[in-house]
Chain A
Amino acid sequence: MRIFVPGDAAAVAVGADEVAAAAGEGVIRNGSRGMFELEPLLEVETPEGRVGYARVTADDVRSLGPDHPKCVGLVDELPFLKRQTRLTFARCGITDPQSIDDYRGHGGFKGLERALALGPAATVEEVFDSGLRGRGGAGFPAGIKWRTAAAAPSAQKYLVCNADEGDSGTFADRMVMEGDPFMLIEGMAIAGFAVGATRGYIYVRSEYPHAIRAMGQAIETARTHGLLGPAFDIEVRVGAGAYVCGEETSLLESIEGKRGEVRAKPPLPAHQGLFGQPTIINNVLTLAAAPFILAEGAKAYADYGMGRSRGTMPIQLAGNIRNGGLFETAFGITLGELVNDVGGGTLSGRPVRAVQVGGPLGAYFPPAMFHLPFDYEAFAAADGLIGHAGIVVFDDTVDMAGMARFAMHFCAAESCGKCTPCRIGSVRGMEVIDRIVAGEDVAANVALIEELCETMKFGSLCALGGFTPYPVLSALRHFPEDFAS
């Protein structure tokens, strides 16, 4: 009888290590199923399937059984999981993340094997045909990026995995690294093979010590199994608490050992990236989608989704929400379904007032816009973005002028300082919002903040200064009553 207690940081943060110690030797530290309200979720294997016990404490462990009040029944039958289409997260929570045999036993390495059989050029085309777009936020077609780097002539090319997941409301990259690290290694091996890169870096933020350990251990295992080596090897690099290093050119500077200042583009990293060489930079979720696409074919992936948003998206439900966690589904589901039907509304039980989609640089939307389908173009048309697909829910106690001010404050705190609209604009933005809230010359100051946002949007070098206007202007547009004193 196998027992599972997640080793995911979000489970550990609510006592999973103590539960695992009480469960004794042989307990498997799986990834999280992504239902964080239930953590620590202990699972016991039975002939019928895995039976779960939610919010277990070390004291509970001795008395667990089907009649225990914390028993939630068969985990696979829980509605939150049953409603999902898990392609990227198919194994997370099910397997032992550090067992390469378990990974292989659950379909692992089939994508890499097919890529090796297809050859580099056909592998790039497979990813292109799948319609996969960059999951870090920009949504740029991964296949085009791969084509560009593949065509760049160079003796040394690099592959960089962006695991600097700094957006509030997101944790999918962390879950992949802790819960299914071999999938990321396989995805990177496929990408490296496709574009001709022999060296890969994973840049992980320092706030993720569990993910850093899990990736390091899995990379070591992959080396001993001959999956990584001279032909393609991976190194983990750890950040040092700078949000802006999630921006791709700033991330490259950081790996090179410099201040994480944004580079002007062009040259594109695919032409001239890390150490001046052609470099592919993809988000964790982009690379993690590659094994499925190669194993099952581009069409199997592209059959999911809507419009130009193909495949599935691991959506992260966060903030003041009853059923928070990881919900992977095809593009096209509406915001309202996600927040109310799947998420169950607020945790506080009060009415939902606002949701921020896409992290600190994403727009705030009121429930009146819950008809929006989860799709890159639909969100762009509504003056927002889906970003890394984090959704942060706020109840009716939120002060939206305060959130707009926080967006400017965050930009000021995290600006790399290279361009003026971001470095100075964010500080002036805070001051102007303070004046609006204080009731000083409101109409003129509202016009001023709109003009300032215009300058930041079009004048900033990267998305930090360029997208900070999204939360600010959306708060002003959808919640004007909070800006009147």
Chain B
Amino acid sequence: MTEIEEILRRHAGRSGALLPILNDIQAALGHVPDAAVPIVAEALNLSRAEVHGVVTFYHDLKRVPAGRPVIKLCRAEACQARGVARIAPVFEGDSRILVETVYCLGLCASGPSAMIGERVFARLDEASARRLIDEAAA
């Protein structure tokens, strides 16, 4: 929990600090543990319900760790038009990684596209999708 306290210190006095704090906790721990909710609530003078409400609203914030490397695959219209349905089974069929659907990475003339952490990948086909999974799982 020292990490959480350090994050709270970093944002002390900032207006509207809740989302930046939760984003930082998610980045540091890979999820926002339920045990963090009362600590954050106390620090920001909010109710636990308010913090819980924010944690469960945003797609990026997870209450449990993924347990595997996460690959975000864009399934929005532009990537659909460029054939993401053809490569999606490659991701879905590999239990070494967890594939998450996202709607748009802003690479809409270069899809299908995916994201691992802050790294982006485009023009994916079945072969490059397999290489990406192997690299993420390694």
The answer on a CB contact under 8 Å between A168 and B78 is: yes
Rounded to whole angstroms, the CA-CA distance of A360 and B98 in the bound complex is 26
Cβ distance B97 to chain A, nearest Cβ, rounded Å:
18
A167 within 8 A of B: yes
The answer on a CB contact under 8 Å between B82 and A347 is: yes
A242 within 8 A of B: yes
The answer on a CB contact under 8 Å between B109 and A318 is: yes
- Chain A residues 162-212 with CB under 8 Å of chain B are 165-171, 174, 206-210
Pick the interface stretch among B2-10, B15-23, B63-71, B87-95: B15-23
Among B54, B57, B81, B113, the residue within 8 A (CB) of A319 is B81
- Chain A residues 143-171 with CB under 8 Å of chain B are 165-171
Q: Which residues of B contact A (CB under 8 A)?
A: 15-20, 22-23, 26, 44, 50, 53-54, 57-61, 72, 76-82, 102-111, 113, 115, 118, 120-123
Residue of A nearest to B81 (CB): A319
The answer on a CB contact under 8 Å between B102 and A318 is: no
A9 within 8 A of B: yes
Rounded to whole angstroms, the CA-CA distance of A256 and B110 in the bound complex is 35
Among B57, B78, B121, the residue within 8 A (CB) of A318 is B78
Residues of A within 8 A of B81 (CB): 318-320, 392-395, 398
The answer on a CB contact under 8 Å between B107 and A168 is: no
Cβ distance A408 to chain B, nearest Cβ, rounded Å:
13
Q: Contacts A242-B59, A257-B17 given: A406-B106 contact, CB under 8 Å?
A: no
Cβ distance A140 to chain B, nearest Cβ, rounded Å:
24
- Chain A residues 1-33 with CB under 8 Å of chain B are 9-10, 12-14
Pick the interface stretch among A224-232, A233-241, A372-380: A233-241
Among B108, B109, B120, the residue within 8 A (CB) of A37 is B109
Q: Given A210-B118, A210-B120, list of 10 further CB < 8 A pairs?
A: A9-B106, A170-B104, A171-B107, A237-B20, A258-B50, A259-B57, A260-B57, A319-B111, A321-B109, A360-B103
Q: Contacts A10-B122, A392-B108 given: A241-B20 contact, CB under 8 Å?
A: no
Q: Contacts A240-B19, A360-B76, A406-B80 given: A10-B110 contact, CB under 8 Å?
A: yes
A365 within 8 A of B: no
Among B19, B53, B77, the residue within 8 A (CB) of A254 is B19
Cβ distance A209 to chain B, nearest Cβ, rounded Å:
4
Rounded to whole angstroms, the CA-CA distance of A239 and B22 in the bound complex is 11
Q: Contacts A10-B107, A13-B113, A258-B18 given: A319-B82 contact, CB under 8 Å?
A: yes
Rounded to whole angstroms, the CA-CA distance of A356 and B105 in the bound complex is 18
Residues of B within 8 A of A472 (CB): none
The answer on a CB contact under 8 Å between B80 and A238 is: no
Residues of B within 8 A of A261 (CB): 57
A328 within 8 A of B: no
The answer on a CB contact under 8 Å between A356 and B109 is: no
The answer on a CB contact under 8 Å between B108 and A360 is: no
Residues of A within 8 A of B44 (CB): 257
The answer on a CB contact under 8 Å between B77 and A319 is: yes
The answer on a CB contact under 8 Å between B109 and A207 is: no
Among B104, B111, B122, B123, the residue within 8 A (CB) of A207 is B104
Residue of A nearest to B114 (CB): A13
The answer on a CB contact under 8 Å between A13 and B82 is: no
Among A257, A258, A320, A356, the residue within 8 A (CB) of B82 is A320
Most buried by A among B17, B26, B77, B82: B77
The answer on a CB contact under 8 Å between A171 and B103 is: no
The answer on a CB contact under 8 Å between B77 and A403 is: yes
The answer on a CB contact under 8 Å between B58 and A316 is: no
> Can you pick out 29 interface pairs between chain A and chain B where the beta carbons lie within 8 Å of each other?
A9-B105, A9-B106, A10-B110, A12-B120, A13-B107, A13-B110, A166-B103, A168-B76, A168-B103, A208-B106, A237-B19, A239-B60, A240-B19, A240-B22, A240-B26, A240-B59, A242-B59, A257-B17, A258-B50, A259-B54, A316-B109, A317-B109, A319-B82, A319-B109, A324-B110, A347-B82, A392-B108, A393-B81, A413-B103
Rounded to whole angstroms, the CA-CA distance of A218 and B16 in the bound complex is 23
Rounded to whole angstroms, the CA-CA distance of A37 and B122 in the bound complex is 11
Residue of A nearest to B120 (CB): A13
A248 within 8 A of B: no
Among A209, A237, A390, the residue within 8 A (CB) of B108 is A390
Rounded to whole angstroms, the CA-CA distance of A188 and B74 in the bound complex is 31
Cβ distance B78 to chain A, nearest Cβ, rounded Å:
4
The answer on a CB contact under 8 Å between A241 and B59 is: yes
Q: Which 7 A-B pairs have the closest CB atoms?
A: A324-B109, A257-B18, A168-B76, A319-B81, A240-B58, A318-B108, A241-B59
The answer on a CB contact under 8 Å between B77 and A406 is: yes
A476 within 8 A of B: no
Cβ distance B118 to chain A, nearest Cβ, rounded Å:
4
The answer on a CB contact under 8 Å between A324 and B108 is: yes
Residues of A within 8 A of B120 (CB): 9, 12-13, 210
Q: Contacts A13-B113, A168-B76 given: A257-B104 contact, CB under 8 Å?
A: no
The answer on a CB contact under 8 Å between A14 and B109 is: no
The answer on a CB contact under 8 Å between A168 and B77 is: yes
The answer on a CB contact under 8 Å between B106 and A207 is: yes
Most buried by B among A208, A242, A318, A398: A318
Residue of A nearest to B24 (CB): A238
Cβ distance B111 to chain A, nearest Cβ, rounded Å:
8
Residues of B within 8 A of A13 (CB): 107, 110, 113, 120-123
Most buried by B among A168, A241, A320, A416: A168
